[in-house]
Every structure is written in structure tokens, then in C-alpha cells.
Homo-oligomer: A and B are copies of this chain.
Amino acid sequence: MSKVEIGRQTPEQNTRSLGFRPLYAQVKHQLLERLINKIWMPGDALPSEQHLAVELGVSQGTVRKALDELTDENIVVRRQGRGTFVAEHTQERALFQYFMLSPDQGKKDDNHFPQSQLLSLDSGSATHRERAALDLAANEQVWRMERNRTLQSAPLIAEKIVLPQLLFDGLDKIKPLPSNIYALFDQIFGQSIVRAEEKLKAVAAEEGTAKRLGCATGTPLLRIDRIAYALSGRPVEWRISYCLTDNFHYVSNLK
């Protein structure tokens, strides 16, 4: 590992405070870059705070503040007495960070991780909407995946997933596709999802969707439009889910 130059700004450089960036932000940027470049992979332990401090030429407290922010962003996980680790896409994380549907009665638990049935997986040129959603170049190819998701064999979700083909080369070779595909993104394609934006609407079930969910045409469905972002900040997944919310609800915490 080569020594890295992180410089404290002198007051002269900083007079008038144009573009002042605290040291810990530079440290955080360094660490993020290494994570993006896969110097450390999901599940790996990072060097200790002390080691990083010496290597980067800053105090432990400054490294600490950088790691604290990465922890808040679910990029890194800290365990007292053990170390700091690159966050993994465990089933628990999928359930509590990326699956906000919860049963009306009872608590959410591992029994509430939905099974998936793959209906189709094709590729083609990105439409205008797909290009806009995933920030793609003209004529770029995408994967399009359709799947149904069930909970204890009751249909719950019909969804379509769109992915840039360049980032997920060989996706069609992987069989079977797991239900928790973000773990796959991590492990096979090196794309770590770290956050997502969802837009929700209530819509009437169209005929095809109704059939997939075993409900009547026109049934009110919760439509979830998700864009998921990788560590690099790039949008790498566009997903639209139609959910039956007779016995489930979507949870949102305002704070």
C-alpha cells in the first residue's frame, strides 16, 4: 500500500474559505475510493483506526470521524473489539433496509423474506425512460427481468427489473437467480448497492398484472418505482414493483 498524501490546509490556503474541506472529509474520500476500487471487498476487515491514522498521517480521531460517516451510510460495519468491516448484503439487510413491506398482523422476521419466481430475462436497447432512469448512453443495452414474489406461497409482488447490461455481463448464465439479488450484485458483479430512492403510487391492476397476482383487474395495487445506487453513486438498477397490500403495508419512518 503506497503512502497517501492528505494535507491539512494552512490558513493561507483557506482564507476566504473558498472550498474548505475538512480533513476527515478527505480521509473519507480516500477510503471510499479504495472501496470503489475493491482494495477491500464486502466482508473484509479494514485496517484498524490506528493503522489508518498512521498511514494517512492524521490523528485517530480524524479517521474515526470519517469511519463514523461511512457507518451511518451503511457502507461499513463496526464491531467493538473485532474491527471495521465492509458491509455485506445479508438477507437481514435485504429484509430491513430494502424490503419495506410488513405484515399487518405480527412482526416482520426471516419468514417474511419473499420467494421469487423468474418469469423472463431478456436484453435489448434501452428505451428513453430506461436511459433516463439509469443514466445510460445512447444505444446502450439493458437486461429486463420479470419476476413474481410470494410469501408463504401467497402472491404478493409482480415486478420488473432493468439493469445496464455492461455492468452485469453474464447475468443470463447464472441459474438459478437468488431472491436477494443485491448479494449477487456484490459478489459476482462488484456492484454494491448502498441506497435507493422509491416513489410510491396507488394504481389499478392491469389485466396482465392482475393475472400474475391472482386478483381482479382494477384491484388497487401499491406501485413502487425504485432506483438503486451503487457505491460509486451510479444508478444501477431500476425496478417497478406492483404489490398487493390487502394484508401487508409499506413502512416509512419520518425523522
CA distance A97 to B194 in the complex (A): 22
Q: Which residues in B have their C-beta under 8 angstroms from that of A226? A: 254
**Inter-chain contact A203/B220, CB cutoff 8 Å:** yes
Query: Given the complex of chains A and B, what is the CA–CA distance between A203 and B251 in angstroms?
Result: 16
Q: Is the CB of B220 within 8 A of A254?
A: no
Q: Which residues of the partner chain B approach A100 to less than 8 Å between Cβ atoms?
A: 252, 254
**Cα(A97)–Cα(B253), bound, Å:** 10
Chain B proximity of A232: nearest CB distance (Å): 16
Specify which chain B residues have a CB less than 8 angstroms from the CB of A74 in the assembled complex: 255
CA distance A218 to B255 in the complex (A): 33
A211-241 contact mask (Cβ, 8 Å, vs B): 1 or 0: 0000000111111011000000000000000
Mask, A182-200, CB within 8 Å of B = 1, is 0000000000001111111
Q: Interface of chain A, helix or strand or loop or mixed?
A: strand
Q: Which residues of chain B have C-beta atoms less than 8 A from A223's C-beta?
A: 202
> What is the bound-complex CA distance between A220 and B252, given in angstroms?
20
* Complex-state Cα separation, A251 to B250, whole angstroms: 12
Task: Find out whether the CB atom of B198 lies under 8 angstroms from the CB atom of A245.
Answer: no
Interchain Cβ contacts under 8 Å between A and B, 15 examples: A97-B254, A100-B254, A197-B252, A198-B252, A198-B253, A198-B254, A199-B251, A199-B252, A200-B250, A201-B245, A201-B250, A202-B220, A202-B221, A203-B220, A225-B249
